[in-house]
Chains A and B, each alone.
Chain A
Amino acid sequence: MNTSALVVMLTTMLLVTALMIYFFVKVITIPPKPEPDSYLDNDDEVDRQVPKPQ
C-alpha cells in the first residue's frame, strides 16, 4: 500500500476500534444502579436491592 493510504487507514481503524472497545468496556465495568432499574436479568441479585426503610 502507498504510505498516505496506509496512514489514513491505520489511523482511522485504530481510532474507531479503540473508541468502540473503550465505551463497551466502560458499559460492562460500571456498576449497575440499584433496583428498580431498566433491566430484567439482574432483578433478583440480592446485593443490588435498595434496603427497605426501617
Chain B
Amino acid sequence: MSANKESWGSRVGLILAMAGNAVGLGNFLRFPVQAVQNGGGAFIIPYLVCFFVMGIPLLFIEWSMGRFGGKYGYHSTPFIVDTMGKSRFWKYIGVFGIWTNIAVAAYYCYIESWTLSYVFHSIIGTFSGLDQDGVSNFFGEYVSLGVSTLGVPYEPIVFYILCLLLNTWILSQGLASGVERVAKIGMPMLILFGAFLAFKGFTITAGENGAINDSSVGLNFLWTPNFDQLWSPTVWLAAAGQIFFTLSVGMGTVQCYASYVRAKDDVALNAMSAGWMNEFVEVVLGSSILIPISIGYLGIDRVTELVQSGGLGLGFRALPYLFYQWGDFLGAFSGVMWFGLLFFAGITSSLAMGTPWIGFLMDEFNWRRKPAAWSFGVVVFVLGMPTVLFFKYGVFDEYDHWAGTVSLVVFALLETILFSWVFGIRKGWQEIISGADIQVPNIYKFIIKFITPILLLWVFLGSLFTPKGNDWSAALSGNWILDNSSIINRLANTSLKKQLAAATDPSQIEFLQDQIFFVNAARILLLSVWIILALLVYVAYKKRLREGRI
C-alpha cells in the first residue's frame, strides 16, 4: 500500500496553492516584456485568445487527469497517464512530469534565492547611495560569485542553500500544513505588495523625485495597440508561449495537486478560479509595476534597450536603484515589497515542483513524506550547483530552454493527444464535468479535441523550425532559413560555433570553447536525469507487477 494518504485542508487553500503554483516570477518579469516586444496593447488579444483556447482547456485536462489518477492512488504523472492509455510507453512520457520539475527547480530556486537575498539587502540598505551602474554592477558581481557585501564567502551559494532548506522543510510538513499554509500567507501578501507597487506605478509624475516621465508614458508604451502586429505569427507564438509559462501547464504539477481531490468533488470551477487568479496577478498587477516605473525614470529608449535582455535585467539591475528615487525609507520599503512579492511568487511555484517527486516516491516505494522531501532538496541541490557555478557559461539558460521551455510544450502536446484521442474525448469530457460546480460550455469539447492539439503542435513546430529573424512571410514564401534560436540550431550550437569561427582574441576563443563544453555537459546531465527517472519508473512498474497491483 502507498504511504501517501494526504489531503488538502480546504478548497480555498487548494485554489490558492494552485494559483501560487501558476503565479511565478514570469508574471512580473516576463509578461510585460513580452507585451512590449509584441505589439503593446494588441498583444493582449492573442494572449487572451490563447488563454481561452489553450490555457483553459489545458487546465481542464490537467485537473481532471490528476483527479482521475488520484482515484487509483497515483500522485505523479508517470502512472496517472498510464491509467489513461493502454500502451506501456505512456508512463515514460509521464516521466516529463517529474523531470521537468526537478530540472526547473534546480535553476528556479537559484533565482528565488536572489529575491530572498535582495529582500535582505533592501532591509540593510545595500542599495542606498549607489548609482544606477552601482546597482547594476552589484547584480553582475552577485551572479558571478564575486565580492560579497555581507562578508559571507560565496554569498549566492549560501542564499541558494537557505532557499532550498526552506523549500524542503515546508515540503516535509505536508500538503495542508506546509504547501497550503504557505500559499494562504504568500498569495494575499503577494497581492498586497503588488497593489502597493502598482499604485506607485500609476502615480509617477514627471519632475518629481527625478522622474522624467509621467506614468502615462509607460502605460501608453505598454497598452497602445499596434494592430498590424496581430497578423504576425511571431506575436501569436509569443502569446501562446506566455500562456504556457504563466499557467505552469505541461509540467505535471497541476495533475499532482489535483490528484488529492476526490472523485465526486469539483475540478472545473477550481480550475477556472485558480486560472483567473493567475491572470489577475499577471495582467493587472504584472503590467502595472515594471514597465511604468522603469519608463518613468529611465525613459523609453533606455527601457527598450534593457528589455532586449529580458525582464531579469530590469527587475534586478534597475528597480532597486529607481526605488531609492522615492527616498531612503520608501526605497528600502519598496525594495522589500518588490523582492518580497517575487519571493512569494517563486516559493509557491517551487513548492509545487517538489510535490510530483515526493508523490512518486511515496506511492511507488513507500517512502515517508519527510525523507522524500529531503531527497528532493538533495537532488535539486546537486543538479542546481552547475547553474550557480557555471552561470556565465550559459548552463542556467540551457536548463531553462530544455526543461523550462521545450519540455513543457512536448508534454502538453502529448497529454492533450492522450486525453482527447487515446483516452477519448467522451470519457475525458465526463471527467471534466463530473462533480462540476459550473456549467462547462460544450464548445470546449470541440476545442479540446481539435483546436488545442493543433495550436500546441503549431507552437512546437514553430519552436523547432523558427525562421531567421522570426520572418514568417519570407519563410512561407520558400526562403526558410532557420533562426539560431530554433530548437534544431540550438541543439547544433550554431550560434556559438559562428561566434567561435569569427573570434580572434585568444581569451574569447578559450571562453567560447569552454562555453560549448559546459552547454553540452549540461544537456548530457539533464538527459542522464531523465534516463534515471525512466529507470525508476520501470522499477516501480515491475514492483507493481510483482505485488499484483496492475
Residue positions of A touching B, CB distance < 8 A: 1-2, 4-6, 8-9, 12-13, 16-17, 19-20, 23-24, 26-28, 30, 32-33, 36-42
Chain B positions 222 through 233: 1 when the CB is less than 8 Å from some CB of chain A, otherwise 0: 111100000000
Chain B positions 241 through 270: 1 when the CB is less than 8 Å from some CB of chain A, otherwise 0: 000000000000000000011101100011
Q: Once the chains are docked, how many angstroms separate the CA of A4 from the CA of B45?
A: 14
- Assess the A37–B264 pair: CB atoms within 8 A: yes
A to B CB contacts below 8 Å, 24 in the list: A2-B224, A5-B41, A5-B220, A5-B224, A8-B44, A8-B225, A9-B219, A9-B287, A17-B280, A19-B279, A20-B279, A23-B272, A23-B273, A24-B15, A26-B269, A26-B437, A27-B11, A27-B15, A32-B11, A36-B262, A38-B262, A40-B176, A41-B10, A41-B13
Q: A28-B12, A38-B265, A39-B11 are in contact. List 14 more A-B contacts (CB 8 A).
A: A1-B223, A4-B224, A5-B40, A8-B42, A8-B225, A9-B222, A9-B287, A16-B276, A16-B279, A30-B437, A38-B261, A39-B13, A40-B7, A42-B10
Which residues of chain B come closer than 8 Å to A27, judged between CB atoms?
A: 11-12, 15, 269-270, 273, 437
* Chain A proximity of B201: nearest CB distance (Å): 12
Q: Once the chains are docked, how many angstroms separate the CA of A8 from the CA of B224?
A: 8
* Chain B proximity of A14: nearest CB distance (Å): 9
Q: Once the chains are docked, how many angstroms separate the CA of A4 from the CA of B260?
A: 45
Q: How many residues of B contact A (CB 8 A)?
A: 41
Q: Once the chains are docked, how many angstroms separate the CA of A1 from the CA of B216?
A: 5
Q: Once the chains are docked, how many angstroms separate the CA of A54 from the CA of B48?
A: 53
Q: Binding site of B, secondary structure by majority: helix, strand, loop or mixed?
A: helix
Say if the beta carbon of B277 comes within 8 Å of chain A: yes
Q: Which 9 residue pairs across A and B have the least CB separation, nearest first?
A: A8-B41, A5-B223, A23-B273, A20-B280, A5-B224, A9-B223, A20-B276, A1-B216, A41-B10
Instruction: For A9, give its contact among B41, B42, B276 (CB under 8 Å).
Output: B41
Q: Once the chains are docked, how many angstroms separate the CA of A39 from the CA of B272?
A: 19
Greatest chain A CB density within 10 A among B48, B223, B265, B277 is at B223
- Assess the B7–A33 pair: CB atoms within 8 A: no
